[in-house]
Structure 1
């Protein structure tokens, strides 16, 4: 197929691009490089089936020109992804995650192209359910980022119901692995590993009892691609995660093995914190026969090796 990946130079986007190329597809990656990085996709530069396009999904003319080539499938991953940035500057997050999504959806509608929308587990209401959070769990937009993702979800599914356009919404839980940034927010595993390799303390927001369900990047990419290529996912909303959660305190100890180097600092956005994130991915397992393959321990080892090779100061 001829496939477009918006946000294709981003962390998850580059893994989706890589797997699609390995599967024999032609892939165009559209990215404005506000979050993505050219280093993420440099290994694909000599592949004749890969095309990188620098452009912004907020610009309708740019999106129209990109779609002029014709695509069979669109993976829409481009987005503003930082919770704190969305609190400080909600307009930018809205324009990227809602208005930009509308532009992509409209092109897909006009050409009858299936679109997958990448959402997030951050849309969910807090839960202490040991069975994990399923797709029917209540949502709570505790940040403009979560609200914008929920709006993007609703738009995406409305095109399925109103126009019969094949669309699917996915909510991966906390994804990590090689190529994730180790600065800013959202890359807690990468941040902890880099600080550990430097011999620095590991700083935890709040008391560290909050838990995360950590999904390795290649497992996430496999899930995203399955959801996009399998018609059984059309019109569906699907979770993906490891199915096991770990507290941030435990995660820090797994990585550094020294409690004296684990420090707690004031939370930057406690109002948007979800205390327990544990994924129930039964729907994806039954519908798509998908399940994660990489354990947390193996994923941390692979990520540590990659960061060490890259150099801890990069």
Structure 2
């Protein structure tokens, strides 16, 4: 099939491109490189199925008009502003990218009858209240403009399913980590902790460290997102993906640093947007897609550590 990945040079986008190419599809990737990096796609540049990488913006309708003339079967829409603190500091940028940009992509998908798989986030949820995990029916809570914009994007995507019969899926992966994730301020906590650990630096934790996260290895995430595109069973649905086990940031830091003395506590930069417990319930993904994560947290951290050791130039 013909596949478009918006945000294709980003962290998860890069792994999704890889999975789609491995599955034999023709792939186009679009990215404005505000967060993604063209280097993420270096190994695929000569791949016969990577038809085009386009440096462009989903807010540019002319670029989308030209791109969608390729008549894609599926659009995996990952392009977005993804940083919570940035959304608090500059909400208009996040709204423009995550809501208006998504609307632009939806209009193209409607025009060309292209299925859309919309990348949302677990950050739209209110905290988990017990160890049964968060299902797709769990209350949402827009605790940041980022979460609010993603909820708006979700609703627009599902409105095109109901109003126009456009095949559409909303995916809510939990905290994704792995090779190619940034290790700076916009990166994930695991990548940041690993890089600091390897450098012999202290690991800084915002707040108490009692907040928990359900960490999903990026290859598992890419497999899940790809399958949501392939399957008609999830059309019109919201679907979670996570490991199904959470860990406190305190315990994560000890696992990586192997020394409690190297952990330092910092004043929280956005306590109002903190979600204290995030734990995924995967039952729906397992039922509809027969999907479950293949990598344990320990396995994923080992693979990520090995990659960071070998690829410091990229991060």
If the TM-score is normalised by the length of the shorter chain, which range does it land in?
Answer: over 0.9
Alignment partner, residue 35 of structure 1: 35
Alignment partner, residue 163 of structure 2: 162
Q: Offset of 1:68 from its aligned partner?
A: 1.2
Go from structure 1 to structure 2 and tell me whether the alpha carbon gap of 1:297 and 1:231 turns closer, same or farther (over 3 Å shift): same
Separation in 2 of the partners of 1:272 and 1:63? 33
Moved over 4 A (4+): none
Alignment partner, residue 133 of structure 2: 132
Q: Offset of 1:312 from its aligned partner?
A: 7.5
TM-score for the superposition, normalised by structure 2: 0.98
Q: Offset of 1:311 from its aligned partner?
A: 2.7
Alignment partner, residue 20 of structure 1: 20
Alignment partner, residue 143 of structure 1: 144
Secondary structure of 2:233's counterpart equals helix
Q: Offset of 1:28 from its aligned partner?
A: 0.3
Separation in 2 of the partners of 1:145 and 1:87? 8
**Residue 227, structure 1, aligned to residue 220, structure 2:** no
Alignment partner, residue 294 of structure 2: 293
Alignment partner, residue 188 of structure 2: 187
**Residue 75, structure 1, aligned to residue 82, structure 2:** no
Q: Offset of 1:172 from its aligned partner?
A: 0.2
Separation in 1 of the partners of 2:174 and 2:86? 20
Separation in 1 of the partners of 2:196 and 2:153? 35
Separation in 1 of the partners of 2:236 and 2:192? 36
Separation in 2 of the partners of 1:249 and 1:229? 38
CA RMSD of aligned residues (A): 0.9
Separation in 1 of the partners of 2:312 and 2:105? 37
Alignment partner, residue 11 of structure 2: 11
How far does the alpha carbon of each residue in 1:51-88 deviate from its partner, in whole angstroms, 9 at most, with x for none?
20110001111111111121111000000000000000
Separation in 1 of the partners of 2:215 and 2:24? 29
Separation in 2 of the partners of 1:313 and 1:222? 24
Check conservation: 1:198, 1:312, Cα contact below 8 A.
no
Separation in 1 of the partners of 2:146 and 2:187? 13
Go from structure 1 to structure 2 and tell me whether the alpha carbon gap of 1:35 and 1:126 turns closer, same or farther (over 3 Å shift): same
Q: Offset of 1:127 from its aligned partner?
A: 2.2
TM-score for the superposition, normalised by structure 1: 0.99
Deviates more, 1:122-131 or 1:92-101: 122-131
Q: Offset of 1:185 from its aligned partner?
A: 3.5
How far does the alpha carbon of each residue in 1:247-286 deviate from its partner, in whole angstroms, 9 at most, with x for none?
0000001001000000100000000000000000100000
Secondary structure of 1:5's counterpart equals strand
How far does the alpha carbon of each residue in 1:21-66 deviate from its partner, in whole angstroms, 9 at most, with x for none?
0110000000000010011100000012112011000111111111
Check conservation: 1:194, 1:312, Cα contact below 8 A.
no
Separation in 1 of the partners of 2:289 and 2:312? 38
Q: Offset of 1:128 from its aligned partner?
A: 2.1
Secondary structure of 1:52's counterpart equals strand
Q: How many residues align?
A: 314
Separation in 2 of the partners of 1:185 and 1:143? 16
Separation in 1 of the partners of 2:107 and 2:101? 10
In structure 2, runs of 5+ residues without a counterpart are none
